[in-house]
Structure 1
Amino acid sequence: MTPAPQGNALALDPVPAATGRCSGRRRAKTSDTVTPVNADVSTLAFTVWMHSRQRKLEEEYELTREMGEFYHQVADTMVAVLATADPVACLPATGPDDYRYWPEVFHDEAGGVL
């Protein structure tokens, strides 16, 4: 796999015969780790598409003004759908510095990702 750049970044394995995984580098407080983000490029594309559809529906039906509890339901649903299509993206964390990109991003209400 190609080494990821410094800081938070995404790196793709350029050799299809290898893993093909999309991995992210995250600089944690106690370590600098590379974590799988998606199983392959197709599931990365699916995740990005799903996220864009969710945002478009929010804008179309003006859901952003009254998210509240609905925010968590949407985040949980998106993680569940992603886990079905790409279990690698939603593997359980193995330690305090372990990081799963999409579940963390979808549940970041303060960051306003959804």
Structure 2
Amino acid sequence: MAPPTPLERATNSVLRLVKEESYYHKELAHQETRISKLQTEIAAGKPDLDSNAPYMLKQEQTALEETKAVFGPLRDKISEAVQNLEEQIAITESDGAEGKEEELKKAREAVESGKKVAEQE
């Protein structure tokens, strides 16, 4: 098997970062659900809660804030990876793209998904 081309590496990098960003969104939603549930249980005074429930709530909130802090730097990485991929697309096209149409198509799709994610707030 031939080693991946610079275009393939750049494409895979963007796709990996976009996937990572989606995982963080899922984790964020999961953490928010846990916090909401714990807050409801504490407010209701559930008898089965142990004495460290407020501490656990604080820990969950801290984890939530740490997860939120990941998005800015991750989007910066995605923007850089997209820029690199666009450069690789230009290089590949200037060198002659014969036989690389599928690879270029996948790269352009990765650029679009990367730009979409990087522009989110």
Q: TM-score when scaled to structure 1?
A: 0.31
Question: Which structure features the higher share of helix residues?
Answer: 2
Q: TM-score when scaled to structure 2?
A: 0.29
Higher relative contact order (CA 8 A, sep 6+): 2
Larger radius of gyration: 2
